[in-house]
Amino acid sequence: DAKTTQPPSMDCAEGRAANLPCNHSTISGNEYVYWYRQIHSQGPQYIIHGLKNNETNEMASLIITEDRKSSTLILPHATLRDTAVYYCIVRVPSGNTPLVFGKGTRLSVIA
């Protein structure tokens, strides 16, 4: 079972920042937080991951609270192509441990 809770859907205006929340209150000390997104009829796309520090890459920023019980994925300037289902997943860094997907958040970017 997924160990994260996300809102089922969100809307965001094109050009604005999209802030997607995720609760992972039972996260253990060595579990990482991963974010993926799935555009319709495609495989999931890796976005970003982190352990406790905030992370930023060319796609997004990941803000993890100090107690690590929640995080926020930020898409700084959302475009129509960012419309997708976004998954927040926690995982222990062990080679055989798979990503377990919950229901995610369906983000709709509106023109």
Partner 1 sequence: GAVVSQHPSRVICKSGTSVKIECRSLDFQATTMFWYRQFPKQSLMLMATSNEGSKATYEQGVEKDKFLINHASLTLSTLTVTSAHPEDSSFYICSARGGGTYSNQPQHFGDGTRLSIL
Place of tokens 């253990």: 28
Identified binder of partner 1 from the candidate list 42, 53, 66, 81, rule CB under 8 A: 42
Say which DSSP state 111 is in.
Answer: -
Which is nearer to partner 1, 8 or 111 (by Cβ)? 8
User: What track of x and - describes contact with partner 1 for positions 74 through 103 (by CB under 8 A)?
Assistant: -------------x-----xxxx-xxxxxx
Identified binder of partner 1 from the candidate list 45, 56, 65, 79, rule CB under 8 A: 45
Q: What is the DSSP string of 58-109?
A: SS-EEEE-TTSSEEEEEESS--GGG-EEEEEEEE-S-TTPPP-----EEEEE
Contacts with partner 1, residue ranges (CB under 8 A): 32, 34, 36, 38, 41-46, 49, 51, 87, 93-96, 98-104
